[in-house]
Amino acid sequence: MFRLDNKTAIITGGGSGIGKAIAEIFAQQGAFVLILDMDEQGAGQVTQAILDKGFRATFKKCDVSNQSVVKEVIGTIMAEAAAINILVNNAGISHIGTAESTTEADFDRLVGVNVKGVYNTLHAVIPHMKNSGGVILNMASIASIVGIPDRFAYTMTKGAVNGMTLSVAKDYLHYNIRCNCISPARVHTPFVDGFLSKNYPGREKEMFEKLSKTQPIGRMGKPEEIAYLALYLCSDEASFITGCDYPIDGGFTKLNN
């Protein structure tokens, strides 16, 4: 079950964190994984680790916020692959700030990556998927479901991702294209460690435990836990699921009082 044999899967932001876990698990399950990322070193290491295990993967440097670059990269992929079966829009950036403290530059930067980046890959990939069907999975966030302090711009962008998911699912039903999204709560990734060291020097352990306990389950998620849900939603076993958002949050959205 949950095999991805003979599937070509594009994963944006696959060079670290959740994207890395998705790339590794998809490759393990038989997919030919194409990692799109700006981080050449990180994505290169993930790709090589997959190849060393005898699975298939390649890396293409891509700025998802630049439509012409995305179109060029997708064109290159289509010249090498028979089809694109799976698209995982995982690339994204975070930001801390309210409507007052968020600068226009930061706002535009988040929209460029988190919203336009998803649009750009959808715009480039869907025409190819229309021929044989496919699966699209977007990475949203529980921030788009509940209010989280100091996450104004980030929450806005993830709400847009949720909206795009519904639109694509509706528009391309008759092309046999499914589209869903995942909304994780806090997941322990290198981003979290970097955030803590930058903002709470000397208090990293204390703040890590504090953030972990905001989730009723008592800890942060693991990247592979998100990747296993991604695997299911992109597999043939999930063929009856489209237009859905899946919170994966340790009880955060339903059990916090």
Q: What's the CATH number where 117 sits?
A: 3.40.50.720
Are residues 147 and 197 both part of a single domain? no
| Under 8 Å between Cβ of 217 and 182 | no
What pLDDT is recorded for position 257?
Answer: 65
Predicted model pTM:
0.96
| Under 8 Å between Cβ of 60 and 77 | yes
In three-state secondary structure terms, 46 is: helix
Average pLDDT, consecutive stretches of 10 residues, N- to C-terminus, the chain (257 residues): 97 97 98 98 98 98 98 96 96 94 98 98 98 97 92 97 98 98 95 87 93 93 98 98 97 86
Are residues 54 and 79 both part of a single domain? yes
What pLDDT is recorded for position 256?
Answer: 79
Residue 153 lies in a domain: yes
In three-state secondary structure terms, 31 is: coil
Closest by CA to 93, choosing from 10, 195, 2, 175, is 195
Residue 19 lies in a domain: yes
Are residues 75 and 27 both part of a single domain? yes
In three-state secondary structure terms, 9 is: strand
Residue 2 lies in a domain: no
Residue 257 lies in a domain: no
Are residues 100 and 114 both part of a single domain? yes
What pLDDT is recorded for position 30?
Answer: 98
Closest by CA to 92, choosing from 72, 121, 68, 57, is 121
Are residues 101 and 215 both part of a single domain? no
Closest by CA to 136, choosing from 78, 87, 74, is 87
Residue 256 lies in a domain: no
Which structural domain range is residue 38 located in? 8-185+228-249
Are residues 34 and 153 both part of a single domain? yes
Are residues 134 and 152 both part of a single domain? yes
Are residues 123 and 195 both part of a single domain? no
What pLDDT is recorded for position 191?
Answer: 83
Query: Which residues make beta-bridge pairs with 179?
Result: 136
Residue 98 lies in a domain: yes
Residues designated catalytic: 154
Are residues 60 and 177 both part of a single domain? yes
Are residues 215 and 166 both part of a single domain? no
Are residues 135 and 80 both part of a single domain? yes
| Under 8 Å between Cβ of 249 and 183 | yes
Secondary structure (H, E, C), 162-221: HHHHHHHHHHCHHHCEEEEEEEECCECCHHHHHHHHHHCCCCHHHHHHHHHCCCCCCCCE
| Under 8 Å between Cβ of 104 and 95 | no
What pLDDT is recorded for position 147?
Answer: 83
Stated length of the chain: 257
Are residues 72 and 109 both part of a single domain? yes
Residue 254 lies in a domain: no
Number of domains in the chain: 2
